[in-house]
Amino acid sequence: MVEIPESAITETFLAASGPGGQNVNKVETAVQMRINVYALRLAPYAFRKLRTLAGRKMTSGGELVLTVREHRTREANRAEARRRVADMIEEAHRRDARRIKTRPSRAAKARRVETKKKKASVKKTRGKPKLE
């Protein structure tokens, strides 16, 4: 698990929807967590990957905004939000395998052209027969 400094986290609690009876109307159990990504001091590659992983959850100001309302208790939602953020940051630190550029061989190119010619000849023979 990745450690997230408390100074980078801002939490607000909201009224959650879903099961819970009257408790839903009285208690603010959903959590909206905002993490200042710049305070995490991520490596440039990890920051770029985190931005693509987060998508719309990342603001232009560099804040990662997560809203969790799965559980009935505030503590469970807080723990779930922290786990999601940690998983996202952990995934951002994983480097993708480098792609090795390859070229098709001359024989592969010839096979491709040959199949295209065969397809073209089949398609050319299709159509309505001419009545003369």
* Domain ranges within the chain, ordered by starting residue: 6-93
Tell me, what DSSP letter sits at residue 127?
S
Torsion angle, CA of 66/70/74/75, rounded to 10 degrees? -90
Output 107 or 10, whichever has higher pLDDT.
107
Q: d(Cα 63, Cα 9) in Å, to the nearest integer?
A: 10
Give yes or no for residue 18 having a pLDDT over 70: no
CATH class of 6-93: alpha beta
Residue 109 in tokens: 């190119």
pLDDT in tens, 24-45: 667 788 888 999 888 888 888 9
Question: Is the pTM for the entire model greater than 0.85?
Answer: no
Would you list the DSSP string of 52-101? HHHGGGB-TTSEEEEEE--SSSHHHHHHHHHHHHHHHHHHHHSPPPPPPP
Contact 50, 15 (CB under 8 A): no
pLDDT in tens, 63-86: 889 988 888 888 999 999 999 998
